[in-house]
Structure 1
Amino acid sequence: MNAATPVRMPAIYMSHGGPSLPDDPIWPGELARWGAALSHPTAILMISAHWEEAPLALGATTTVPLTYDFYGFPEHFYRVQYPSPGAPDLADKVRKLLRGPGMPVHDLPDRGLDHGAYVPLTQMYPAADVPVLQMSMPTLEPKQLMDIGRRLAPLRDEGVLIVGSGHFTHNLRALNTANHVLPFMAEFDDWGKQALAGGDVDAILDFKHKAPAALYAHPREEHFVPLAVTLGAAFDELPTQQAVIEGYWLGMSKRSVQFG
């Protein structure tokens, strides 16, 4: 293969933790090993639970300040920097792939990466040398998000790592520093593990009705539905997937998976 030829990248869904993730004794190493095991991407397209915007929006394509979209944390978490290069060429490609009736795309050039994007990337690609583009979720409807992922799938052949970033279970009332896992969190996580292993895409898209304790594991669905974008981007390779990270953080599942 010519050295200039991009390597086809996987599509991934990751649980992204919170601003304090780097302080965890285990999770940073898991993310670092994951990043090291992947081929070096030409760019990263990030879809985070923390950016809902309709019509669909693209964030900064230059290096701008991060979006510290959290409250009440110690001051040093607001001083974290991640000066990744912008990805204007990737933004052009995304616009072309998504162009069509009912899919307007607009730009927010001052919108920096939020913590659902930069926190895991500081561990996976600490050199901040990969261009990153963040894209909003214009809807929380899983089938529509999956369709967006399918349109974006050709980017993988150009070396782009497509990332759905959320949390496999997410109920802030269940957070606890002892990492005690409530039964409904474990039930949902096990259901999701089995659904992914069996390639049961229909069940995953209809998780609110098919999964046990769905409304307890996800009182609001924004942290689970980025998985639908990943599934769309990996549609031709379903059900093949690899569970890269498992276990719990502060009582929430940190399950993260790779397709391809």
Structure 2
Amino acid sequence: MGALHVSAAGTAYPGYPVPAPTIATTAGGPMTSHTVDPFHPATPAGAYDDLLARVLPEAREQRTWQPADGPLPALFVSHGAPPTLDDPQWLDDLYTWGRSIPKPRGIVVVSAHWEDAPVAVTGSTAGTPLYYDFGGFHPRYYALRYPTPDAADLTRRITGTLSSGTPVHQFTDRGLDHGAFIPLMAMYPAADVPVVQLSMPSLDPQALLALGERLRGLREEGILVIGSGFMTHSFAAMRNPALAGHTEAFDAWAADALARGDLDALTDYRAKAPGAQVSHPTADHFVPLLLTAGAATNPATATTAINRIWYGNSIRSLQIS
């Protein structure tokens, strides 16, 4: 996100409001020159450069998934935007998470930033240009590359899975948007895994749950299914720290509902979750969690991989078997 984001479907999303000029705090890790102000870093994407310099050789050598490993988990990632690339702890957490499971044979990701019906998929050619769906940031962020391998075989597998009774539109020139490429740049920095992004057919929680269920079998083939959103997505809480109680209550409620495997509560979060109106004034960043839950075998197995508050919002990210 930035000053303005316009999705392929033409929906405008307001960008990150710049908080008051205070020193950012990062729980659990020291601050660096890259993270004193993640909205105006001294070195744009400098923390990401540091990560690459440190981990790229071992990332290339990560063991690839084998059938004996069993199904990969389904993931829900709170993805952030360009400021993620200036937060060394966030990047380290994402990289460590990616290392904790075998390197997937392919990745299918549904991002909060692409709603298009019927379901559509991104271009599959190696090195398809990224879709820089944010504005108002330093030019460096628009020069970033994440040149993933050819994904034609993965695209055919996904469209074959979904095409029974449902048309699937394939774009040739639409690349990954920031809800996909920002977290993957840290999780799989070698850019050596084929990636396909699917659009959300709607923002209806049941529709995302059903889409996830249809993708569930791909996990048994070493394909990682990711829902990319934000556990709470409140610009109001970013501007006004007094609202943090709403996002904290929502985050705790969602974690508890998952622990109980209560998908009915999660799909009816507008009525049942405390702080829902503040935490998610729009549905786009929450419903990818339903995609992840649908792709999982047992939602009650959810474990938290990342758990922090960032400018009043929860960046809780989850792994579900």
TM-score normalized with structure 1 length: 0.93
Cα offset for 1:131? 0.5
Question: Which string of whole-angstrom CA distances, capped at 9 and with x for unpartnered residues, describes residues 131-156 of structure 1?
Answer: 10011001111111111111111110
**2:140 counterpart residue number:** 76
CA distance in 2, matches of 1:79, 1:230: 30
Name the SS for the 2:181 alignment partner. helix
Counterpart of 1:149 (choices 193, 212, 234) is: 212
Within a 5 Å distance, the mapping from 1:90-129 to structure 2 comes to 90-101=154-165, 103-129=166-192
Counterpart of 1:11 (choices 74, 90, 93) is: 74
Compared CA separation, residues 180 and 23, structure 1 to 2 (3 A): farther
CA distance in 2, matches of 1:27, 1:15: 10
CA distance in 2, matches of 1:238, 1:37: 19
Higher alpha-carbon deviation: 238-247 or 35-44:
238-247
Within a 5 Å distance, the mapping from 1:106-255 to structure 2 comes to 106-175=169-238, 182-234=244-296, 236-255=297-316
Which consecutive residues of structure 1, in runs of 5 or more, have no partner in the other structure?
none
Cα offset for 1:3? 5.8
CA distance in 2, matches of 1:180, 1:40: 41
Cα offset for 1:105? 0.7
Name the SS for the 1:30 alignment partner. helix
CA distance in 2, matches of 1:28, 1:3: 26
CA distance in 2, matches of 1:20, 1:86: 28
Question: Which string of whole-angstrom CA distances, capped at 9 and with x for unpartnered residues, describes residues 89-118 of structure 1?
Answer: 1111111211233x2211111001100000
Within a 5 Å distance, the mapping from 1:14-53 to structure 2 comes to 14-53=77-116
Give yes or no for the alignment of 1:88 onto 2:152.
yes
CA distance in 2, matches of 1:86, 1:11: 22
Q: What amino acid is the match of 2:238? A: L
CA distance in 2, matches of 1:133, 1:70: 20
Q: Give RMSD over aligned pairs.
A: 1.8
CA distance in 2, matches of 1:133, 1:254: 23
CA distance in 1, matches of 2:178, 2:106: 18
| Contact in 2 for aligned 1:113/1:134 (Cα 8 Å) | yes
| Contact in 2 for aligned 1:15/1:165 (Cα 8 Å) | yes
Cα offset for 1:12? 0.6
Who wins on radius of gyration, i.e. which is larger? 2
| Contact in 1 for aligned 2:260/2:300 (Cα 8 Å) | yes
Name the SS for the 1:46 alignment partner. strand
Cα offset for 1:173? 2.8
Question: Which string of whole-angstrom CA distances, capped at 9 and with x for unpartnered residues, describes residues 53-105 of structure 1?
Answer: 1111000101211111001011111111110113111111111211233x221
| Contact in 2 for aligned 1:7/1:39 (Cα 8 Å) | no
| Contact in 2 for aligned 1:164/1:229 (Cα 8 Å) | yes
Name the SS for the 1:20 alignment partner. helix
Which consecutive residues of structure 2, in runs of 5 or more, have no partner in the other structure?
1-64
CA distance in 2, matches of 1:131, 1:7: 20
| Contact in 2 for aligned 1:69/1:114 (Cα 8 Å) | yes
TM-score normalized with structure 2 length: 0.76
CA distance in 2, matches of 1:129, 1:51: 23
Name the SS for the 2:228 alignment partner. strand
CA distance in 1, matches of 2:253, 2:136: 33
